[in-house]
Structure 1
C-alpha cells in the first residue's frame, strides 16, 4: 500500500478528522447560508461525524488504535443513517412518522387541524437539493462510507 505512505499516520487521522468537521460545516452552510432547514434524519447524520472528529483528536493526542476504529464507526454510522434517509426520500420505505407525514385522517376536523398544526415543517421524505440526481443524504452515504473505509485502512496500516 504505497499510496498510504504519502502521508504519515497523524496526517491521515487529521485529514479524516477534518473531513468529519467539514461534513458538519457543510450541513450548517446549507442550513444557515442556503436557508434549507434540516429534517430529523439530517440531524441524525451529523452527530456521528462529531464522534468521528472527536475520536480523531483523541487518536492524535492520546494515542491508541481504538480511536481509529471509533472514528470508522462514527463515519459508517452517518453513512448508514444517510442510506436509511435515502430510502425514505426515494420512497423505498416509510420514514419516521414524525417527519414523513403519517397523519391519521380519521376523527374530527379539529383532530386533523391539530395534527397539521403540530406537524414538523421539514419533512424527511422531501429532497430540498440535488446535484446530478443525488441528494445530500446520497452524497453523505458515499462520502461517509468511503471515509469509514479509510479509517479502517489507516488503523490496520499503522498498527
Structure 2
C-alpha cells in the first residue's frame, strides 16, 4: 500500500498530464461543435479557447521540467484554466442578460447605412451573437459547461501543486 506522501507526489506529478488532457479535450470538443455540429463560435467563445490553448501549452511545457520549474508551469496552467472560467462566467452573464457583452458580441449598428453599405457589411463576415445560447444540455449552455469544467480543473491543478509544494517543504 502506498503512503499518502507517495500518493501526493504521484498526483502532483500527473497534474501537467491532467491539465494537458483536459485542455486538449476541451479544444477538440469546441472544434467538434464548430466543424461537425455546425455551431460557429462567437467572440467570447474564441477567447475561452485561448485560455485552453494557454493551459495546454503551459502543461506541455511543464512535462519535461523538474522541481520548481515544473510546479510553476503547472500552476500557470491551472491559473489559465481559472482565467478561462472567468471568461466563461462573463459569457454566461451575457447570455443571461445580466450585463452587456463586448462591442464584437452584438450586431453592428446599421442605422444610416445605404443599401450598398448594408450589403457590404453583411457580406464581410458571419456574425455570431454572444448573448444567444446556441446549444444547451440540462439548461446549461456551452459557456456554462466550460465554466464548470475550467473552474474545477483549475482548482484541482492549483490544489495539487499547492499540496505537493507543502509536502516538499516538510
1:86-128 superposed Cα distances (whole Å, 9 cap, x missing partner): 11111111112222225253x3544666555557421111111
Q: Indicate the residue corresponding to 1:130 in structure 2.
A: 136
Shift of 1:158: 1.5
Q: Indicate the residue corresponding to 1:87 in structure 2.
A: 93
Shift of 1:20: 0.7
- Normalised by the length of structure 2, the TM-score is 0.81
Shift of 1:77: 1.1
DSSP 3-state at the match of 1:8: helix
Once the two structures are superposed, the pairs formed by residues 1-159 of structure 1 within 5 Å of their partners are 5=7, 7-63=10-66, 64=69, 65-101=71-107, 103=109, 105=111, 107-110=112-115, 116=122, 118=124, 120-159=126-165
Whole-angstrom CA distance in 2 between matches of 1:92 and 1:112:
30
RMSD (CA atoms): 2.1
Whole-angstrom CA distance in 2 between matches of 1:91 and 1:102:
18
For structure 2, the 5+ residue unaligned runs are: 166-170
Q: Indicate the residue corresponding to 2:168 in structure 1.
A: none
1:116-151 superposed Cα distances (whole Å, 9 cap, x missing partner): 555742111111101111000001111101111111
Whole-angstrom CA distance in 1 between matches of 2:131 and 2:119:
21
For structure 1, the 5+ residue unaligned runs are: none
- Stretches of 4+ aligned residues off by more than 6 angstroms: none
Whole-angstrom CA distance in 1 between matches of 2:35 and 2:113:
38
Task: Name the stretch that deviates more: 66-75 or 112-121.
Answer: 112-121
DSSP 3-state at the match of 1:158: helix
Whether the aligned pair in 1 keeps the contact of 2:107 and 2:127 (CA below 8 Å) is no
The structure with the larger Rg is 2
